[in-house]
Amino acid sequence: MGRKWNNIKEKKASKDANTSRIYAKFGVEIYVAARRGEPNPESNQALKFVLERAKTYNVPRHIIDRAIDKAKGGSEESYSELRYEGFGPNGSMVIVDALTNNVNRTASDVRAAFGKNGGNMGVSGSVAYMFDATAVIGLEGKTADEVLEILMEADVDVRDIIEEDESVIVYAEPDQFHAVQEAFKNAGITEFTVAELTMLAQNEVTLPEDAQAKFEKMIDVLEDLEDVQRIYHNVDLGE
């Protein structure tokens, strides 16, 4: 499972290269979560989760506060949550999650990003069955054995614990996300290198050099779309 985490790191590093874009996308996600429930993370689990993710991306406080204040102010701006599934070069698989206030625009943009870069859109369910929804939480300063002991003492079950480089990565069922974090926080761990609910491919594929170049171009184009929030795929991008 460790190699799958490399893809998350690659995606995160790519997004970190354009902080204004990632901050803007978090602003929308925070606004939507705050508007759909109480604008208080202690009583709104969806908002709490988004804020935990935002912390790992170093989203500035003023971005967060502005999005929550907008929701508190009764803004009528509404967004739809959409998921697109498709295929990239050589049959690679891609899932695209979006938040949009213009469904037709987003569908057209995503379809064009696939079609112009060696891919094609699929129907709902054509790809997602090859991915598993997974909570991924990473931290530094502990060994895998120490992390396992913390989770066992808290009676929290997880799928796997992997040591990678200087980090320990915990993979768990999505509904265990907050339980894992609370176990760590009760043990004095408050900083995380990653805190994600993601879709991990059951099997990764390695593409030939030319196909990988097309695939990476397609992912770049998708990530540049204003409405696209997250992208999952089954391609091993290597180290």
CA gap 215, 224 in Å, rounded: 14
Distance CA 124, CA 163 (A): 35
237 Cβ neighbours under 8 A, 6+ residues apart = 6, 7, 10, 212, 216
Task: Among 7-16, 84-93, 168-177, name the one with the lowest average pLDDT.
Answer: 7-16
Q: Round the average pLDDT of the chain to a whole number and report it.
A: 89
Per-residue confidence band for 8, with pLDDT thresholds at 50, 70 and 90: low
User: Checking phi first, is residue 236 left (phi over 0); if not, alpha (psi -120 to 50) or beta?
Assistant: beta
Give per-residue pLDDT as tens, 156-183.
999 999 998 788 999 999 999 999 999 9
Q: Where are the domains of the chain?
A: 2-72, 80-129+204-233, 131-201
Three-class SS state of 151: helix
- Residue 67: pLDDT over 60: yes
Least confident span in 26-35, 36-45, 60-69:
36-45
pLDDT surpasses 80 at 234 = yes
Correct CATH for 80-129+204-233 of 3.40.50.970, 3.40.190.290, 3.30.70.980, 3.40.50.12780: 3.30.70.980
Pairwise pLDDT comparison (186 vs 237), residue with the higher score:
186
pTM above 0.75, yes or no: yes
Q: Mean pLDDT throughout 6-34?
A: 73
Strands (E), 141-215: 160-164, 167-172, 194-201
- In this prediction, residue 90 carries a pLDDT of 92
CA pair distance 55, 193, nearest whole angstrom = 9
Tell me the pLDDT tens digit for each residue of 104-163. Answer: 999 999 999 999 999 999 999 999 999 999 999 999 999 999 999 999 999 999 999 999
Domain range 131-201, its CATH number among 3.30.70.980, 3.30.479.30, 3.40.630.30, 3.30.420.40: 3.30.70.980
End-to-end CA distance of the chain: 14
Q: Tell me if domain 80-129+204-233 and domain 131-201 are identical in fold.
A: yes
- Provide the 10 A C-beta neighbour count for residue 220: 12
**CATH superfamily of the 2-72 domain:** Integrase, N-terminal zinc-binding domain (1.10.10.200)
pLDDT of residue 75: 78
